[in-house]
Amino acid sequence: MPVTLADIQAAHQRIKPHIHRTPLIKSDFINREVGAEIFFKCENFQKVGAFKARGACNAIFSLSDEAAKRGVVTHSSGNHGAALAWAAGLRGIKATVVVPENAPAPKKRAIEGYGATIQYCAPNTAAREAAVSALIGEHGYELIHPFDNDDVIAGQGTAAIELLEDLPNLDIIISPLGGGGLLSGTAIAAKGLKPDIKVFGGEPRGADDGSRSFQSGVRVTSQTPQTICDGLLTVLSERTFGNIRRDVDGIGVASEEGIIRAMRMTWEYGKFICEASCCPPLAAILEGSIDVKGKRVGIIITGGNVDLDRLPWVVK
């Protein structure tokens, strides 16, 4: 049975003692640029620097004692891995994270810093899944998938609950779209609380499986992503695609130049650190792929774990 608003509300109660209630930030400059009132829900200030803390925490604290005792495993380009490591540490259980060798250095340091074991793999889906399967076979670990998991989806949806508690009169919510866990949870929570709200995803044109799947009605099952958004490389799962087809109103796409421009604009005028992977929603607005004129818009800023030595606008 798909995740419901009640599941997300229960997740919120479960994780509240452990997570930050993140602030909303707005910028007069950005509002003038887009002709709308935009509120950034700043999950860059969340535990582990990303919204992924919500889903991981809900999944870890939903485990039976028996499963918890065996430990958990996941694969992640970064933030979900750090989040699972952090949440496992809170419950005092063992976590192993399968990480692609080319993940950003701060994300690798974070996973280890939170006390999880890292196992490296080649940077492709097949290699990740093989490594995970081997660990499950050998140790009986519970897989906490980064997005294809209902407890994770329910946890991610809690950001939208806070957004609508703080701003009941929002017209639109937009989240970045990678595997679809956040967008699923966001849409289920938002439509459950406020049926007439519009929910959109934003993704890079260089990893636009979500948009193509949504438009054709047939899920794109593989792609060769070409984008700096290292958190948005994966394709939707059947589960997340089903949620998104049911509850989401559209998917905007953004160019790489637009994403870098939106990232720099957010840093310069929003005054907070966000990853490139946060920026397809604002970029899609700026490039006309999502129309928000005159509306009150919540954008979920997904994380702030950036390698400060590799900023995309700095020419080396």
* Token pair of 112 as six digits: 């280890």
Please name the residues in contact with 110: beta carbons below 8 A apart, sequence gap of 6 or more: 48, 49, 78, 82, 85, 305
Contacts with its own copies in 102-161 (CB under 8 A)?
106
Amino acid at 176: P
Nearer Cβ to its own copies (25/116): 25
How far from the centroid of its chain's Cα atoms is residue 303's Cα?
8
Contact 283, 202 (CB under 8 A): yes
Spatial distance between the Cα atoms of 144 and 157, rounded to a whole number of angstroms: 16
- Strands laid side by side in the 142-143 sheet: 117-121, 95-100, 72-75, 142-143
Interacting stretch for its own copies, rule CB under 8 A, among 7-15, 76-84, 175-183, 300-308? Answer: 300-308
- Specify whether 222 is catalytic: no
Give Dmax over CA atoms of the chain in angstroms.
Answer: 56
Spatial distance between the Cα atoms of 302 and 175, rounded to a whole number of angstroms: 8
Spatial distance between the Cα atoms of 83 and 182, rounded to a whole number of angstroms: 14
Q: Is 309 in the site for its own copies (CB under 8 A)?
A: yes
Q: What is the H or E stretch that residue 120 is in?
A: strand 117-121
Q: Is 264 in the site for its own copies (CB under 8 A)?
A: yes
Contacts with its own copies in 10-39 (CB under 8 A)?
23, 25, 28
Nearer Cβ to its own copies (114/214): 114
Please name the residues in contact with 145: beta carbons below 8 A apart, sequence gap of 6 or more: 74, 152
Nearer Cβ to its own copies (46/158): 46
| Least distance in angstroms from the C-beta of 90 to its own copies | 12
Interacting stretch for its own copies, rule CB under 8 A, among 60-68, 167-175, 199-207, 270-278? Answer: 270-278
* Token pair of 70 as six digits: 């065996």
Among 47, 62, 76, 77, which one carries the catalytic annotation?
77
Interacting stretch for its own copies, rule CB under 8 A, among 40-48, 75-83, 129-137, 278-286? Answer: 40-48
Q: Is 282 in the site for its own copies (CB under 8 A)?
A: no
Interacting stretch for its own copies, rule CB under 8 A, among 70-78, 175-183, 285-293, 303-311? Answer: 303-311
| Least distance in angstroms from the C-beta of 308 to its own copies | 6
- Closest alpha carbon to 59 in 32, 80, 77: 80
Q: Is 288 left (phi over 0), alpha (psi -120 to 50) or beta?
A: left
| Least distance in angstroms from the C-beta of 304 to its own copies | 4
Among 47, 52, 107, 108, which one carries the catalytic annotation?
52
Q: Is 79 in the site for its own copies (CB under 8 A)?
A: no
Give the residue, chosen from 93, 187, 248, 273, that forms a contact with its own copies under the rule CB under 8 A: 273
Interacting stretch for its own copies, rule CB under 8 A, among 91-99, 134-142, 226-234, 263-271? Answer: 263-271
Give the residue, chosen from 49, 55, 71, 281, that forms a contact with its own copies under the rule CB under 8 A: 49
- Specify whether 27 is catalytic: no
Spatial distance between the Cα atoms of 146 and 169, rounded to a whole number of angstroms: 31
Q: Is 308 in the site for its own copies (CB under 8 A)?
A: yes
The residues assigned a catalytic role are: 52, 77
Q: Return residues touching its own copies (CB under 8 A).
A: 23, 25, 28, 44-45, 47, 49, 106, 264, 267-268, 271-273, 304, 306, 308-309, 311, 313-314
